Amino acid sequence: MITIYDVEVKDINLETINMDSYKGKTLLIVNVASACGFTPQYKGLQELYEKYKDQNFEILAFPCNQFGAQESGTNEEIAAFCDNNFSVSFKLFDKVDVNGEDASPLFKILTKAYPGILGTKNVKWNFTKFLISKDGAIINRFGSTTTPETIEVAIKDII
């Protein structure tokens, strides 16, 4: 069975990252967008990251333009937006699709392992969050309306 540790992704600078480099860390994987009603969640994500980064916690943010064309910028524009508006210091990645034939292999694994409401595999909107344990188990999936502050309890439980 393929796990998240078996795939490679590209970071915001287009450098290849092997997901196995995150073994032993608690992960929150999020599809993000700069022009979304949920974009202010970057603030809460950054606060979570600051609070738990010294406990082997990482946030991996994957920009996605599949929902309302809310992430139309280049990687450079996305990085500048995140830095200028939210002082984001967690890892940003190359823009990906999270649904469909061209979906990132990482998101195919995440959505298959932890379907959404009524068993649907598709990500419904920006700022869907997947919580991954240190051993790579997909612990939970949180919808866009679930704020970073709300899921802090779940993070504390597995760190």
CA distance 77 to 82: 9
Query: 38-43 long-range CB contacts below 8 Å, 24 or more apart?
Result: 38/125, 38/126, 38/127, 38/144, 38/145, 39/126, 39/127, 41/127, 41/147, 41/148, 42/82, 42/85, 42/86, 42/88, 43/86
Judge whether 36 counts as a catalytic residue.
yes
Task: Name the strand (E) or helix (H) holding 130.
Answer: strand 129-132
From the candidates 12, 36, 45, 48, give the one annotated as an active-site residue: 36
Listed in order, strand segments (DSSP E) in 19-123 are 26-32, 57-63, 91-92
CA distance 72 to 101: 20
> What residues are labeled active site?
36
